[in-house]
């Protein structure tokens, strides 16, 4: 079966949520984005109906990108075209190429560059609005993992006012469970406000892909890029000029170079510096002129973030990063990687109290650990650090006297390599980089020493 056309059928802005209806040829799907403390009716009065419609249209457009997992020939955006401007077509293509490179690789598709964007009538014009308010407060995204926890702690210690933004998504399970877990992290910081977004998506929730496209590797979601647009209603409502996420320097490195396409495949591309710059510039020029998006942790690698996390042992039982079964499934690459990083920097008994099992001895995870330390074709397709960061963490675990089959493998196949300059790696991954980030100077000057 082939899908010819995916389509935005309808977009409705209710007072408290957006309802977006999609189709893929004869199949119908819906996405609902609920804002727990934002009134769209109020936003339309404070700004303009046109401005809010434009923001909602961009959310609808990029939420629909997940349907590109079906390799459609066309993406029909006629229903929202008059609220979009020509630059969004180019942005869509760039986001698709970056985020979906892994999907193309996993399905061995080399002759597809994304769908052709089609629409009846004409596109609208770019008329960026301006956020009202003093703009001093930072809107800080919190997914409940170590990165956002460290980022919020840094903002707090720098005495920079911030509000938290958390969201649940169908892809991660029940909304209440997700929000409760994230709230457990936020209880250890002091945001001026705590915002919640809940996203319900039946394309992801239903067994559609498995039943109709069993040969497809899975659904790819442009999670970070679309979350930037979904944050804008909160920024307009709260008067926040700054949107700060917690993406590390490690996200800029891909999993492999795919010769067939002649480019890198990076599972984390949407989190990286290239995507960050693209999205910030696009929003400023087309939607909100005084919008600033940056990552607080872009100047440092994941290796250093784990070390910073060790300053906050009270957060260890609260953080969670698993994308399979929250808080931890203890069987996936993400769990294995976070376990490794935490064991390297925390007293082992504190980590044991959370996980309750030695993942270094899990035979099912041994291939995953081999991928992490560079003994296979590519690293796991997950949000994890670079090969040498995992190597440094394993070396630290051995030096602490920890044991397990994964550490035996590392000692035998990696540590025995006398050509590795461990001191140089330590300097690189424990360094602080003053360039290649988008943090405004007025904020960077206050957080630099805390990074």
Under a CB-based contact definition with an 8 Å cutoff, are residues 22 and 203 in contact? yes
Query: What are the structure tokens assigned to 186, written together?
Result: 């936020």
pLDDT band per the 50, 70, 90 thresholds, residue 450: very high
Residue 400 has pLDDT above 90, yes or no: yes
pLDDT band per the 50, 70, 90 thresholds, residue 217: very high
pLDDT of 284: 97
pLDDT of 173: 84
Residue 385 has pLDDT above 90, yes or no: yes
Query: What are the structure tokens assigned to 140, written together?
Result: 């800080």
The SS3 call for residue 391 is helix
CA–CA distance, 449 with 451 (Å, rounded to integer): 6
Quick one: average pLDDT of 186-192?
Answer: 97
pLDDT tens-digit map of 140-150: 999 999 999 99
Of the candidates 246, 99, 60, 221, the residue with the CA atom closest to the CA atom of residue 165: 246
pLDDT tens-digit map of 274-299: 999 999 999 999 999 999 999 999 99
Of the candidates 200, 164, 445, 144, the residue with the CA atom closest to the CA atom of residue 320: 144
Residue 248 has pLDDT above 90, yes or no: yes
- Residue 10, strand partner residues: 21
Under a CB-based contact definition with an 8 Å cutoff, are residues 303 and 392 in contact? yes
pLDDT of 171: 83
CA–CA distance, 315 with 156 (Å, rounded to integer): 15
pLDDT of 368: 97
Q: Tokens 């931890």 correspond to what residue? A: 328
Query: What are the structure tokens assigned to 12, written together?
Result: 């409705």
CA–CA distance, 244 with 138 (Å, rounded to integer): 7
Quick one: average pLDDT of 154-168?
Answer: 97
Q: How far is CA 307 from CA 280, 303, 434, in A?
A: 29, 7, 19
Of the candidates 362, 257, 243, 252, the residue with the CA atom closest to the CA atom of residue 300: 252
pLDDT tens-digit map of 339-354: 999 999 999 999 999 9
- Residue 162, strand partner residues: 138
**What is the residue-averaged pLDDT of the chain?**
96
Residue 42 has pLDDT above 90, yes or no: yes
Say if residue 310 is preceded by a cis peptide, omega within 30 of 0: no
Cα 403 vs. chain centroid, distance in angstroms?
32
In this prediction the pTM is 0.96
pLDDT of 93: 97
pLDDT tens-digit map of 304-314: 999 999 999 99
Q: How far is CA 410 from CA 260, 391, 407, in A?
A: 31, 8, 5
Under a CB-based contact definition with an 8 Å cutoff, are residues 129 and 288 in contact? yes
pLDDT of 40: 98
From 57-61, 131-135, 433-437, the region with the lowest mean pLDDT: 131-135
């Amino acid at each position: 079966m082939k899908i010819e056309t995916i389509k935005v059928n309808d977009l409705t802005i209710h007072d408290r949520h957006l309802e977006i209806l999609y189709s893929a040829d004869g199949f119908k799907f819906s996405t609902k984005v609920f804002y727990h403390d934002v009134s769209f009716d109020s936003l339309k009065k404070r700004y303009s109906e046109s401005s809010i419609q434009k923001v909602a249209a961009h959310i609808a457009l990029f939420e629909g990108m997940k349907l590109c997992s079906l390799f459609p020939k066309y993406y029909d955006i006629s229903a929202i075209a008059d609220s979009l401007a020509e630059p969004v077509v180019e942005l869509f293509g760039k986001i698709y190429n970056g985020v979906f490179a892994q999907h193309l690789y996993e399905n061995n598709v080399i002759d597809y560059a994304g769908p052709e964007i089609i629409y009846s009538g004409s596109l609208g014009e770019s008329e960026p609005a301006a956020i009202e308010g003093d703009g001093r407060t930072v809107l800080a995204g919190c997914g409940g993992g170590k990165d956002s926890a460290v980022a919020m702690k840094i903002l707090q210690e720098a005495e920079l006012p911030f509000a938290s933004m958390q969201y649940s998504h169908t892809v991660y399970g029940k909304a209440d469970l997700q929000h409760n877990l994230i709230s457990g992290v936020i209880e250890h910081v002091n945001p001026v406000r705590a915002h919640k977004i809940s996203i319900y998506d039946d394309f992801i929730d239903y067994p559609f892909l498995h039943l109709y496209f069993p040969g497809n590797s899975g659904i790819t979601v442009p999670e970070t890029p679309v979350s930037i647009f979904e944050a804008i209603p909160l920024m307009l409502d709260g008067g926040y000029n700054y949107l700060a996420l917690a993406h590390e320097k490690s996200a800029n490195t891909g999993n492999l170079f795919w010769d067939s396409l002649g480019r890198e495949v990076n599972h984390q591309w949407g989190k990286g510096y290239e995507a960050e710059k693209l999205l910030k510039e696009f929003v400023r020029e087309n939607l909100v002129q005084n919008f600033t998006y940056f990552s607080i942790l872009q100047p440092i690698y994941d290796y250093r973030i784990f070390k910073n996390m060790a300053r906050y042992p009270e957060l260890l039982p609260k953080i969670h990063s698993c994308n399979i079964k929250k808080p931890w499934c203890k069987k996936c690459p993400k769990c294995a990687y976070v376990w490794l990083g935490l064991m390297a920097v925390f007293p082992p008994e504190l980590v044991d109290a959370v996980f309750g099992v030695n993942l270094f001895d899990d035979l099912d995870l041994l291939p995953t650990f081999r991928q992490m330390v560079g003994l296979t074709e590519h690293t796991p397709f997950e949000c994890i650090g670079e090969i040498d960061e995992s190597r440094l963490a394993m070396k630290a675990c051995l030096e602490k006297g920890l044991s397990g089959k994964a550490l035996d493998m590392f000692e035998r196949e990696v540590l025995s390599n006398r050509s590795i300059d461990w001191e140089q790696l330590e300097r690189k991954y424990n360094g602080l980089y003053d360039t290649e980030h988008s943090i405004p100077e007025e904020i960077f000057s206050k957080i630099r020493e805390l990074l």
